[in-house]
Structure formats: structure tokens, C-alpha cells
A and B are shown apart, each in its own frame.
Chain A
Amino acid sequence: MHRAACTGLDNYSPGYLWCTYSLSLRRLDCQVPTHLPLDRAQTLSPRGRGCGLRYPGHIPVRVFLKSARWDIMLHIETRGDKFGRGRGTDRSCVLTQNYRSVKITSYTDMIYRDMIIEREGSSAVRDSMDGTMDRAVGLESAVGGKAPGDNIASNRAVVSVVGKDRIGIIARVAGILAANDVNILDISQTIMQEFFTMIMLVDLGEERSKFARIQEELAAAGKEMGLKISIQHEDVFNFMHRI
């Protein structure tokens, strides 16, 4: 038996989910469309014939979900063969050796975008796997959705600095940006009523996750220098001032 725990479902969900798994086992790739009766708990039992390794490619399984609030145990059993099992939490993003990804959508078009599974297999199982797929992966929805936040058209942001003028403001801000691999596209600065005002347009590149980090670093630097430094996505300004 192998199991994957998926977060985001819950034990009260009514009806059925259409579920498509892409399970990558050793030398086994299978797409499994199946019904998930969510209001029933317990381990799954194989449905139909031809489960398991004997029919690589398709394993028809019926899955019952058991959960405590946000954690759903998703059990998949294939003729007693033990593949290992996975557990997941909302934030974890670890590829299992057993599963490459799990894609689940509900019949109501709900997309569970960040359903992640993580391996928690027994050592025996782990040892038997070669671990080539043991790398982080975010799961994508089966209906063409994207992972949350991947859909921002551009990744440019405006850094604004307002406060009392002093030496080294630009150097400091630019330093933080450079350290985070952020390209500065434009800088303008003015002094308005004794207040130093600098505006930078920057390109954050592909990696969206660093936004929060840069924001924290800039805010900390601002606090230290007695300035208000903020970073906002460029779209805010485009949307307000350009049609």
C-alpha cells in the first residue's frame, strides 16, 4: 500500500472529485482518473482489475479520504504492493520518490493548486528507490491553472523612498537590490519640502518568491535610516494612471 497526504481537501467535502494522478514510480508512469468519494473515510481498495505494477500506465483505483481537518490521507492501495507513502502540508513542496505530482480538480472547477505531497516512506521503501526524483516541485492543476502567483504579466516593481535626506540612501538601497539580483531600470529623485523622494523602477526577474525578502530588507534599512522605503508591484501605478 502506498499513501499520499494531500492538504486542502477536507473530511466534509461533499460529492466527488475528479482526480487525476500522475504517479511516477520506478519505471512506472500512470495516469489515474478516479472518483474520490470524499465523505467516506478509510483506505482505498482497488477497483476494477489490473491494479498495480502488472499494468503500468493505468491503475484504476478508488480512493477514500480520511482526514483530520486539513490533512487528508489519500490512500492508494494496489494489490498489497507497498510503494511507500507520502504526507504533505500546505507549505511543503517536496517531491517524493514515489510520486511526481498529484493533480486534483473538483467537478465544480475548483482547483487545488498547491496540493503537495511529500514522501514519508519507510526506510526500506526509500532504500529501494533510487531517489532520482527527489527534488522540489510545485503541483499544477489538471485544468491548465498555474501555481498561485505565477501569472503576473511583468515582474517589475516600484521602490519608493521618502524621508529626510542623508548620505548614502541610494547606495544602501541599490546595495540591497543588487544583493538580491534585482536590476534597476530607472531612478528619479527630487527634494519635496525638505523631504528626499526617490523612485526606482526595478525588474525582479523570474523569481517571484524573493519579493517578500527584498521587502523586509528594504523596510529594515528604511527603519535604520529613518526613511520610509516601500516596494510595490508596478501594476498598481499602471492601473491607476494608465488605461
Chain B
Amino acid sequence: MKPVNLSPSEILETIRMVQMENLDIRTITMGIDLHDCVDHELPRLKCKIAGKIRRYARNLVEVGREIEREYGIPVINTRIAVTPIADIGGSLSADDFVELAHCLDDVARELGVNFIGGFSALVHKGATAGERALIDAIPRALSETERVCSSVNVGSTRAGINMDAVKDMGVVIKDAARRTADRDGIACAKLVVFCNAPDDNPFMAGAFHGAGEPECAINVGVSGPGVVLRALREHGDADLGTLAEIIKRTAFKVTRMGELVGRIAAERLGVPFGIVDLSLAPTPAVGDSVAGIIEAMGIERCGAPGTTAALALMNDAVKKGGAMASSYVGGLSGAFIPVSEDSGMIAAVEAGALTLSKLEAMTSVCSVGLDMIAIPGNTPPETISAIIADEAAIGMINGKTTAVRIIPVPGKDVGDWAEFGGLLGRAPVMEVSAFSSKDFSLRGGRIPAPLRALNN
């Protein structure tokens, strides 16, 4: 028999992390390849897709619950990511894609997963007819369904930025918001515009099962800003090198949980284990905040000068610690700064400390991008396109993933609140520059891929 080799303080540390510091498994996401479902007839295509998803994911929710019970780690979400739908519906019309979105929504509801991602198109160099139809279908698909998440990749370091697609996405986002005007434009909260989108990201709304992925895989996203925050508070006076060390150690422990859960879930579901996403994903819960960590490092309010440096330190330390803890790391891996899902960010915006331009600067050193940001409903589509272009440029030049999930809240202006409820939280409407970018956004064409030498 194995000896008992755990000390009570270690056991209590784990228990405290879970019970008091909101350590949890944010998502177990099952990626399912749908290429073999391709069919030129829509009803058959729908049948095949629904059948395949059911076949693989029918025990997903149950296994998530089982793990939560036996291991005592909350599994907050179980989700499904599929092959970008534009890839398998090349011959469909926009109406067909909307129908397909309903099909995905029905399967997700039936299986009990809270989101299904992959209503996506990868158009970083150009769009096919099918991809254009899918993009046209996005506003309707997202406003008519509940659980379908969509993403569009408009740029990459190797291909440059497809500004035609960027231009379209501004219009798509406005349309999606308009169609869900009664719910503060919630459809936009399910739509991510990416540059350098990862193929194995478990986090919504940008999850899809990309090219090169296996038939089926389990990807896990962990969360634990609260744990890092507590560790930092315990070492109030330490210098930044020590803080980085503390974050690394904490991230290691948090990620080990993801690794364990991923392996067990994969084993029980009989599919390969994909990756652990080393992200620090905040929740609206008090203390479970990335902004809180930045403030604990000595920034009075998140957004004040020094925020970007603090975030860079934290993001890097999380990756270093997490990479040691997991056999396979992937996805977005870094700190998320979604405004509506982070109580500290919300407070900083309210206090006037955090602006859209500061957030944009922060995205150059953190994991994702402009995430869950509410802007005035009367923001022109060209301005939204330009915001996307800025963010994509940061991703393209730095060889990292960036994304925009922005909600032009219909009928609301700076100072109002957008209420999304549940997982998506609430967000103050933030100010957007009133100067026009129209002529730039409407030019179209492509921004060429950047030079990868002469780095400055």
C-alpha cells in the first residue's frame, strides 16, 4: 500500500483553495470533429451532426458531475466545441446555416451543455462562399438560439488581416445587437472576432475544434484568480521577483487540478486528452478577480499607469508555472480581462480608472483581448470594425491570439449598464472615441502579413 504522504496543512490548503478562493474547473470542453458529416442535403447534414455530437458527448455532463462529486473540485461548465461549421457547410446558404445553428442549439440543450462553440469561419486570408454565408447568418443564428457560440478569425501572423471580413464583422455585430435589443444585445456576447485563433481553446465563446485536431478530444480550462490573489496578499511587502515566484507556484497548483480533471474526464469518456488551458479566468464573485491581483501588486485601481507591466508580469508567471504542471498546454493560456465577468474591472471602469484604450494596451501582454466590453448602442459599425482591426493588428504583430467580444448595447450610452445575467455578468457601457474611422474601415482589402525579423 502506498504510504500516506500528505501533510494536514497541504490538505487544508487544497480545501481552502476550493472552498474559499473559488478554485474551480471553469470548463471541460469536448472538441468533436464533424468533417465526416458533410452532406449536400441539409436535413441529412443536420441528422449526421446531431447524431455524432450525441454519440460522443452523451455522457459529458454526467462525467463532469461525477468528477465534481468524487474529487470535490467544482466543474462549472461542460461544453462542446465542433469543427468550424463553415468548413462543413460549404454549399449552404445563410438560411441553411441558421437552421444548422438551431440544430446545434437543440443538441446542446438535450445534452445539458451550456454552450456549443464552433459556429465559426476562418477567413484570415479570404472567405469562401460558404464562409460568407455563415457570416451573414451569424446575427440571426445568435439571436434565435440560446447556446450556440460563434467566432470568426479575421487575421493571423502568417496571413495578415482580412479587412473585408473586419468590415463585415462591424456590421454583423451591430445587427446581432439590434436583434437582441431587448436583452442588451446579448447575441454579441456569444460572438468573438479573433486574430490567430487557437484550434484547441476550451473557453467560450471562441471555442472551436480546429484543423489538425483529432476526432475527439477533451480540453480543460482552469480558473483561480482568487487563489493567486490570496497568495499575493499573504506576501504584502515582497519585491516583484518574489511576487512572480509566488504566482508561478500558485499557477502550478491550480493547473495541476486541470491536468487531473482533464485526464480523468478523458479516460471516463474514452476520448484522448487534449490540453489544459492555463488561463486565469475571473468570475463576478468577490475576490475572484484579475483586476484584484493587479491592485494587490500595488496599483491603486486597475487601469492606472503600471497596470500593463503588472499584467505582463502576472501573465508570464502564470504561463511559467502552469507549463510545468501540465503535460499538454494549449488554448488561450494567459490571463483573461473580461470586463463584465470581473468585479474588479467593473469597479475600475466605474471609478474612471480603466478606459477602452488602456484595455487595448493591456491586451498586448495578456491572453485574449477586448473581452465582454459594452459600448454605446449608437457606435457606428465602422468604428467597431476599426476597434477589431486595432486588436487584430496587436495580435498579428506580436504573434499572439487577440480577440474582440464587444457589445454595442442598443439604446444605452456611457454611464448605463448592460445586464447579461448569469455567466456573462453585467458591464458598464464604456466610452468609445467619437472620432470617425469610417474611411479606413471601408477601404477593405488585406493588411499584408508582417515581417518576422527586424523586431522593434
C-alpha gap A13/B10 in the complex (Å): 47
One of B36, B59, B70, B215 near A15 (C-beta < 8 A) = B36
- Complex alpha-carbon distance, A41 and B69, angstroms: 39
The answer to whether A230 and B270 have CB atoms under 8 Å apart is no
> Are A149 and B268 touching (Cβ within 8 A)?
yes
0/1 string, A133-151, CB within 8 A of B gives 1 = 0000000010001001101
Number of B residues whose C-beta is below 8 Å from A? 43
Q: Is B412 an interface residue (CB 8 A)?
A: no
Does any Cβ of A come within 8 Å of B6's Cβ?
yes
- Whether B11 lies near A233 (C-beta < 8 A) is no
Chain B contacts of A190 at CB under 8 A?
A: 8
With A and B bound together, what is the CA distance between A148 and B13 in angstroms?
30
Question: A108, A113, A114, A238: which contacts B6 (Cβ < 8 A)?
Answer: A238
**A30 close to B (CB within 8 Å):** no
A200 CB to nearest chain B CB (Å): 10
List, in ascending order, chain A residues with CB within 8 A of B243's CB: none
Instruction: Evaluate contact between A211 and B11: CB separation under 8 angstroms.
Output: no
Task: Report the bound CA distance from A13 to B265 in whole Å.
Answer: 23
**Given A186-B4, A236-B14, A240-B256, A106 and B55 contact (CB-CB distance below 8 Å):** yes
Stretch at the interface among A4-12, A52-60, A117-125, A168-176: A4-12
Specify the chain A residue showing the minimal Cβ separation from B270: A111
Q: CA–CA, A230 to B48, complex, Å?
A: 43
Q: Using known A-B contacts A10-B55, A148-B268, A232-B72, determine if residue A199 contacts B11 with beta carbons closer than 8 Å.
A: yes
Contact present for A9 and B71 (CB under 8 Å): no
| A154 within 8 Å of B (CB atoms) | yes
Q: How far is the CA of A141 from the CA of B12 in the complex (A)?
A: 39
Q: A236-B71, A239-B256, A240-B256 in contact; A113/B270 too (CB < 8 A)?
A: yes
Closest 5 CB pairs of A and B: A12-B51, A232-B72, A13-B51, A12-B47, A14-B48
Q: A149-B66, A232-B73 are in contact. List 5 more A-B contacts (CB 8 A).
A: A10-B54, A114-B59, A232-B70, A239-B256, A241-B13
Point out residues on A near B: beta carbons under 8 Å: 8-15, 38-39, 70, 106, 108-111, 113-114, 141, 145, 148-149, 151-152, 154, 156, 158, 160, 162, 185-186, 188, 190, 192, 197, 199, 201, 211-212, 215, 228, 230-242
